[in-house]
A and B are shown apart, each in its own frame.
Chain A
Amino acid sequence: SQTIHQWPATLVQPVGSPLSLECTVEGTSNPNLYWYRQAAGRGLQLLFYSVGIGQISSEVPQNLSASRPQDRQFILSSKKLLLSDSGFYLCAWKLSDLTDTQYFGPGTRLTVL
């Protein structure tokens, strides 16, 4: 069966510090991968998605970036965090473009102070 992992589970970082959040998927190959941010009162906002290694599409211009160095690894990064980057970051995967069902990871709660 497939599983999705995210770490860390929680993170408190000062403004201006760098960020690296990691997401890995097990039990499948060549999944579509997604990064969402969920802020209070704003719902889930799609940040990035990837259909393959090295292929990243950005949905929202901001100071975040994403990378996919391996088939089942998706990383969200920032060089300098802003207060507005606080939120709950969710990684999700789906089998392919032929399905609409996404499976979400447990999330990372990021607080920028």
Chain B
Amino acid sequence: TQLLEQSPQFLSIQEGENLTVYCNSSSVFSSLQWYRQEPGEGPVLLVTVVTGGEVKKLKRLTFQFGDARKDSSLHITAAQPGDTGLYLCAGVGADGLTFGKGTHLIIQP
């Protein structure tokens, strides 16, 4: 069974600070996806990273896929209250998507 560990589980910071959250696995994935989920809603796909070492930027969000395609990180610069939510990573493998438990992020004004 493939497992994805996300850390930290909870993170509360002030508006304007930077942060990094992590997604780690002992398994290799063909690609990895990051989702953001707001309370009472379904997850929304942010990005898919495919190549080992790949870096993708989405405005203030920077996503990196590890060289071995086992881990990924999400870095947010100058966090804003609108970034608040549950950030989920999902590994794409032969059996479909495997989700981590997520990082609950709160950005305080």
Contact = CB atoms under 8 A, between A and B. Distances in A.
**Interface extent on B, as a size class?**
10 to 19
Contacts of A41: 101
B44 interface: yes
Interface residues of A, number: 17
B48 A44 contact: no
B53 to A, nearest CB: 19
Contacts, number: 40
A71 B107 CA distance: 41
B100 A43 contact: yes
A100 B48 CA distance: 9
B97 A102 contact: yes
Interface stretch (A11-19, A61-69, A79-87, A105-113): A105-113
Interface string B84-97: 00001010100011
Interface of B: 30-31, 33, 40-45, 48, 88, 90, 92, 96-97, 99-102
Interface of A: 41-44, 46, 49, 90, 92, 100-107, 109
